[in-house]
Structures are given as structure tokens and as C-alpha cells.
Amino acid sequence: MPSAHYEQTLTRLEDGTATIGIIGLGYVGLPLALAGVKAGYTVIGFDISQGRVDAINAGEQVISYMDPTEMREALAAGKFEATADFVRLGEPDALAICVPTPLTRNRDPDLSYVVNTAEMIAKTLRPGQLVVLESTTWPGTTREVVQPVLEGAGGILGETFFLGFSPEREDPGNQSFNTKTIPKLVGADDPQSRKLAETFYGKTVAKVVPVNSAAVAEAAKLTENIFRAVNIALVNELKLVYAEMGIDVWEVIAAAATKPFGYQAFYPGPGLGGHCIPIDPFYLTWKAREFGIESRFIELAGQINTAMPRYVVGELARALNAQSGKGLKGAKVLILGLAYKSDVDDLRESPSLTLIDLIEAQGAHVEFHDPHIPVVPMTREHAELAGRESAPLDPASLAGYDAVLISTDHAAVDYALVADHAKLIVDTRNALAKRGINAAQAVKA
């Protein structure tokens, strides 16, 4: 017999009178908060950064590819507010945890953000609250890590509190899919929690896909990203092989992609970036060791992908030597594109940062140009780069570099200008060729 707490929360979620709490107002949490408002809910957004909270409440654009109009309308209507006061976690009927899950320096899962959030929720947990973890993590985290913390506050799963997992599937800058249109996986270990989570997301997004447990949903998210990591590693390795044969891997991929079945195109690059693909596979390899299983395929893909920045630096050095007889020491190099992917300002795990470190370690002077990142913010792994400013991109400045290395393919960059004035171009993204630009001084890497 479902508890009265369950029935009350279900009714409020169904009729839209529920208050929703979103913890973490980044590229996952903020769009989810606005989708909740669109569904008719009142939403409270929680973030540890007072500066970000103030910016959001002022209606400022805090995510470059998100139009702030919808956020401003939600604020003006009194349907949305941001706060850094986590004592208020007891107010919402449902809470979605959208916090980072990075790796430690030893490539082990760092669940400190998840644990800290669960502990804060436990301090104010009240009967009837639904908690959903959205942060990507290893299968079993919801049950083995979050559930005990909430039970420690005196709650009973499925009776006084409810818990599920629904992985975020955001793709920053994607113009074809967004929070509302991407199908939402929902998993929970008891039917009451599953029903409440389905009801919440059913009003918030276009399609909900329920699965039988939180662990299945956790594993599905990892599988999605491992699929991409492994296939990117494959084309990165093919790039090395075909380059030695004098074959253009991008032309090969384009040719293979003409097959209408049995093939999906993936593209090589200077290394992996973003929060998901460089990190998530290692959550599963770590957990697999608990069961005595060595996930060799995933580990090998990780080794190939993490080796790509060094390969690119080697190709840069070789191209410099071939063109001018000089090495990297003393050379002046421009990194074109700092973000981890095109047309966003997201620096997380960007290979461009690693490239700067590696090239400067060879004695070169490195500058960068990125139309979306005027100044390098503080990052955990590359704190020494914080404060560097984007260099201008004009004929005079381009002519002053010994080499321009295209690391991120931003649409806002004038590649014809680069081709006309750069002495040497090392293109890791096929940016010139796919625009029909033929530059004799360009090499692919």
C-alpha cells in the first residue's frame, strides 16, 4: 500500500503544483530548471557559487549558447530563482542532483560533489521528497552511495523518501536536440520512486524511457559515452596508420560514410575533451576491477585518445623542421581554438590546454585565439594558464607566428584569412579542406 507521503507528492507532480529543486546550475542543471518552469513547476536552483547565483537572478547570460530570454521570463514570472542557501533544500518536492563527477589525478572516480550534495539534502530531508541523481557515475552509485546517506537521516526508501537516477544527456551547443527533446532514461530500485521520477520528467521532457533499476540507467549512460570513446580511438589510430601510407583519413571517412547501413562516421582530433567522453569510461573500468574484471578494450581506447596531444605536437615539430629547418624551441605558435568542441566556450578537459603545456615544455612561445573565450578561466588541471587573453586574429598577427595549430573548429573563425597569412598551418580538424580552402603551407595532424 503506497504511503500518504507518496500519494501527496505524486498528486503535486501530476497537477504541476510541486516545487522542483535543481542542484548545480551549469550546462545540465540550468536547462533542466527552465524545462521544469516550462512544464508549469516552480523551480529553485541551487549553486555553491554566489557569483553565478547573482548573475542568474540578474538575468545575465551565463551559458554562451543559451538565449537568456526564457530564463529572464521565468524570473520575472516568479517561477524560478537561484540561491546559494542550501538550508532551503527542504522546500522542493523533488530534487535533481546535477553536480560534477570528475576523476582524481590517479584516474579514480571523484564522488565528493555527489556525496557532499547528498549530505546537504539529508540535513533537510522531509517526508515525501523525491531525489534524482543526474550526474554520470558508475553503476550502483545511487543505491550504494546516495541511498545510505539519505537513510542515515531517518528516511525509509519508498515510504518517506524516494530516490532514482536519470542520466543527463546534454550536448552543449547542439542545435538539433535540447533538454526537452532528448529522451530521458529513468531508473529506480522501487516502484514508488520510479513512478514519481517518471511523472516529474514526463511533464518536463518529450519522452521518458523507464528502466528497471537505477543501475541500469547508470550503466546505459556509461555505455553511450564508452561507445563514442572507443570509436573515436579507432579513427585516431586509423589516422596514424593512414598518415604513414600517405592517405587522408578524413577523405577515407567521408568515403566510408556513403554506405547507407552498417557504418557510423566518427572523426579524429587532437585529443578528447568535455566532461563526459574523456572521463566516464574510467568510471566503469574502476568499478569493473571490484569484480575482478580488466576492461582492456576501454583502457586501450583511453590510452590511444590520451596520446593524441603528444602525437600532434610531434607532427607540429616535424612540420616546422620540414618547412624552415627550425624546431619548437624559440618558435612562436598560435593555438586556434581553446574550447573542447566547436562553437562553445566550454574548456572542460580541452586538449588545447594540454597542447599549450606540451608545446611550451619544448621551449616555444604559445598564444591562443578563441572567439568564445576571451580570457582563460581558472581550471583544476591548468591553473597556470588562468588569465591569459585571446590574441587578435588579423594579417599582421598571423604573419608573426611560426605556426598556427587548428585545435578547435569554430565557425566564427575566418579560415581563409588564416590560409592567406599564416606561414605554416597544422590542421587537426580538417577545418580548411572541408571549407574548400587549399593552402599549400597546411599539413594535417
So which residues are the catalytic ones? 276
Nearest to 131 by CA among 145, 139, 57, 79: 145
The DSSP bridge partners found for residue 423 are: none
CB neighbour list of residue 317: distance below 8 Å, 6 or more residues apart: 327, 328, 362
Rounded CA-CA distance 444/405 in Å is 10
Question: At 294, is the secondary structure helix, strand, or coil?
Answer: coil
When computed from its CA atoms, the radius of gyration of the chain, rounded to whole angstroms, is 24
C-alpha dist (Å) from residue 250 to 257, 264, 326, 335, 428: 10, 14, 28, 21, 10
Within 10 angstroms of residue 321's Cβ, the number of other Cβ atoms is 12
Cell of 107: 584516474
How far is the C-alpha of 89 from the C-alpha of 22, rounded, in Å?
Answer: 9
All three cell numbers of 15, joined, read 497537477
**What would the 3-class secondary structure string for 324-378 be?**
HCCCCCCCEEEEECCCCCCCCCCCCCCHHHHHHHHHHHCCCEEEEECCCCCECCC
The helix or strand, by DSSP H or E, that contains position 44, with its residue range, turns out to be strand 42-46
Round to whole Å and give the CA distance between 12 and 249: 55
Reference 131, options 188, 63, 66; nearest CA is 188
- Contact 273/305 with Cβ under 8 angstroms? no
- Which amino acid is residue 135, in one-letter code? S
Crossing angle for the helix pair 191-204 and 4-15, to the nearest 10 degrees? 10
- Given a contact cutoff of 8 angstroms between Cβ atoms, the answer to whether 101 and 28 are in contact is no
Q: Biggest alpha carbon distance in the chain?
A: 80
Helix, strand, coil content of the chain in percent (nearest 5): 40, 15, 45
